[in-house]
Amino acid sequence: MLKSFLLAAGIGSRLSPITDTIPKCLIPFAGRPLLDYWLELLSQAGCSDARVNTHAHAEKMRAFLQSHFPAGYPRVTESYEPTLLGSAGAIAANADFAEGASEVIIICADQISNVDLASMVAFHRQHGDAMTMLLYRVPNPQECGIVELDAEDRVVEFVEKPAIPKSNLANGGIYIVSNEAYREIANMHKFDLGFDVLPQFVGRARGWLWDDIHRDIGTHASLAKARAELAKAKLSVAKRRKPVAAVFLDRDGTVIEHVHHLTKPEDVRLVPGAGECLSRLHASGYKCVIVTNQSVVGRGMLTEEGLEQVHAEMTTQLEQHGAWVDEIYFCPFAPGEGAEGGTEHPNRKPQPGMLLQAAQDLNLDLSKSWMIGDMMSDALAGHAAGCLASILIEKTPQSTPPNAEETGERKPARRDFHVKSLIEATDVILNFAN
C-alpha cells in the first residue's frame, strides 16, 4: 500500500498579503487550489491514503480536506499542529501513519510540478535503498540543498546551501521512503528534514532526476513563474492519465449571466449555483471545460487581452465559491469570418473544433462527455463532437440576443435534454451517472 504525507503547515510569510487569508498550499492556480493538483498526481501514482499537516489558516484547510474528492483520489486525513513542528517534527508526530504502508511519499506541497510520481515509485522499488530523493537542476546551487551522486545514482553527499557546490542537483522536496525508513525518521525526533535528517541517509538513498516543471512558490516572483508554467504542466499530467469524461459548458447564459457582446469584467455575474454545480461535477470525476464563441474579438470590440481579463474575473468569482474550470477555449471569429467552403470556422460552434481540441489536449473521453449550453449551436457542437448527450438550458427573454440570426443557429438533429438552469443540467448528468 502506497501512502503520502503532504507537508502543508507553513505560514508562507513571504507571500503576504496572499497568505494573510489563505494557507499557501490552497493558493489557486487557474482557480484550482494547489493542493488539489498534488492529490491528482498522487491518484495517478496509485496512492491510497494521504495525510496533510496543517497550522496556518487551519480552518480553511480543514474545509478543503473535507471536500468530496473524485473517485481514485487518496483518502485524506489531517494532522493539526497548534505549534509548528518542522518538516521532520511532523513525521515524528505521525509515526503511526506508516502502518500498513509499503512506502510513504513525503511531499513539500508548496510547489508546482508535473512530476511523474508513478515512475519515481517504480524507480524506488527497483533499487532497494531506504530512500529516493527527487532532484532537479538549479541555476543557483548556493541557495539550495545540493546533492552529489555516484555512478549508480546513490547519494554520496548532501549539503544545505553550500558555499562551493559540487553539482547543480537540488533537493526537490519529494522523498519516497520505505516503511522502515519512515519509522526511523519519526524516531529521530528532529525538526527539519533538510538539515537534520537527510544527511543521515547519505550512502543509502538514491537520487531521481526530474527535468521538467518543478518550482517552489515561496516568493511572489517564483509564484508568478509557476503560474506561467501551469498550462504546460496541466497538459503533460493529462497525457499520463487514462481518458476521462468532461462536461463542456458554454459561457454566456450558462456559467455567467448573458450580456450581449460582453466586454467589461465588471459586467460578469455568475448564474445562480454556478460554483456549486462545478464543484459537484468535479467531485464526480468530470473535468469542466468552457467552450465559447467570442465574436467580440473578431468584430474588434475586445482584444484577446481584454477577454483574458473577463475570464479572470469569472475565475475569481468561481474561486469565491471554491470552484474552478479546468480550461477555457474560445473562438474569436465573427460569424462567417475565417470560414472555408461556405461553412463556419471549424472552431466556431456549431462546429466541434473547440471540443475536439480540448479532448486532444486534456485526454478526454468524448463518448462519456456532455455539452451544456443555452443555444442550439451548443447542442449541435456536442453532437458533432461525439458527446454522450447535450443539454439545452431554456432561454429567458433577458438572455436572448437581439440578433440571434447572427449565430447561424438551426434546429439540432436531436435535443437530448431541455432544462431551466445549470443546476438542473448538473442534476441530469449526475443522476444519469448514478
Q: Which residues participate in catalysis according to the annotation?
A: 250, 252
Radius of gyration of the chain (CA): 24
Helix (H) or strand (E) run with residue 33 in it? strand 32-33
* Cis? peptide before 17, omega within 30° of 0: yes
**Grid cell listed for 33:** 487550489
Q: Which helix (H) or strand (E) element contains residue 123?
A: helix 117-127
Task: Work out whether strand 214-216 and strand 246-249 pair parallel, antiparallel, or are unpaired.
Answer: unpaired
SS3 of residue 63 by DSSP: helix
Distance CA 249, CA 12 (A): 35
- List, in sequence order, every residue forming a beta bridge with 331; answer none if it has no partner: 293
Alpha carbons 46 and 61: distance in angstroms, whole number: 23
Neighbouring residues of 232: CB distance < 8 A, sequence distance ≥ 6 = 114, 213
The one-character DSSP state at 30 is T
CA–CA separation, 391 vs 297, rounded Å?
27
205 close to 156: Cβ distance less than 8 angstroms: no
From residue 338, alpha-carbon distances to 50, 295, 301, 333, 411 in Å are 50, 12, 17, 7, 23
Assess contact for 219 and 14: CB atoms under 8 A: yes
Q: Where are the alpha helices (DSSP H) in 148-219?
A: 179-188
Antiparallel, parallel or unpaired: β 155-160 and 145-149: antiparallel
User: Judging by DSSP bridges, how do beta strands 169-178 and 131-137 pair with one another?
Assistant: antiparallel
From the list 236, 201, 3, the residue with the least C-alpha distance to 97 is 3
